[in-house]
Amino acid sequence: MENYMIRQLGRVLAALALTAVTTVTGVTLTAGAAHADGCYTWGRTLSQGMSGEDVRQLQIRVAGYPGYGAVLTIDGAFGPATRSAVIRFQQAYGLGADGIAGPQTFNRLYALQDDDCTPVNFSYAELNNCNSTWSGGAVSASTARANALVSMWKLQALRHALGDVPIAISSSFRSYACNSAVGGASNSRHLYGDAVDLVGSPSFCRLAQQARYHGFAQILGPGYPDHNDHTHVAAVGGWSAPSCGI
């Protein structure tokens, strides 16, 4: 734990150093794009109208900021929805909210991610207690793993909105065998790697209510059959948590 904290502190300090701003005779000069350790590095400022893999990587990380009831399409095209998500991300972290992803936005993202590109508060292991290969589900292993990564970034946004409190996960990716063993629905989104069951605190209703703002198309919670002991969030489906007013 101590080494982990030291590593994260080092990353934050490095990010801050790389966003150093110097003022010369009233002109503000901003440092260029910073470099991430072991993950992804953006090499240009991104704004509406641009496209490419760098846009897609940005979309993955701001997928949790689409706004109430919305889902951000991760297609590598920087459109109005991506701009709005970037603005909400910038607002959430106290950055200049102009919808343009430049050094300050990238440095904040670098500080939030680990070397495998997962957000610092979640890991692949947490989202797969079924097997080590991500295989045996309704999609390829690579797709299931990619879906889980997007879910983690949505959960990171949810966690931050709730005051950076820990969020516990009881189940996420399942192969058909694992899904059958726990009595999961035959069409469960867990088979696709994009569903996550949340337990512990905050309350199930608080989780369900806040999740509406963070890109989850499916939210099932208290009052929905077999969901009184957890809140389920996923990329596809609908909302139903009657006991929570949803």
14: its two tokens:
């490095």
Q: What are phi and psi of 148, to 5 degrees?
A: -65, -35
| C-alpha dihedral, 134 to 140 to 144 to 147, nearest 10° | 160
- Is the Cβ–Cβ distance between 93 and 86 less than 8 Å? no
Q: How far is CA 214 from CA 85, 124, 198, 242, in A?
A: 10, 19, 14, 19
DSSP annotation of 241: -
Give me the residue label for tokens 């793993």.
145
Residue among 160, 190, 214, 227 flagged as catalytic: 227
Cα 142 to chain center, whole Å?
18
Question: Is 227 an annotated catalytic residue?
Answer: yes
- Is the Cβ–Cβ distance between 205 and 221 less than 8 Å? yes
Give the residue numbers marked as catalytic.
227
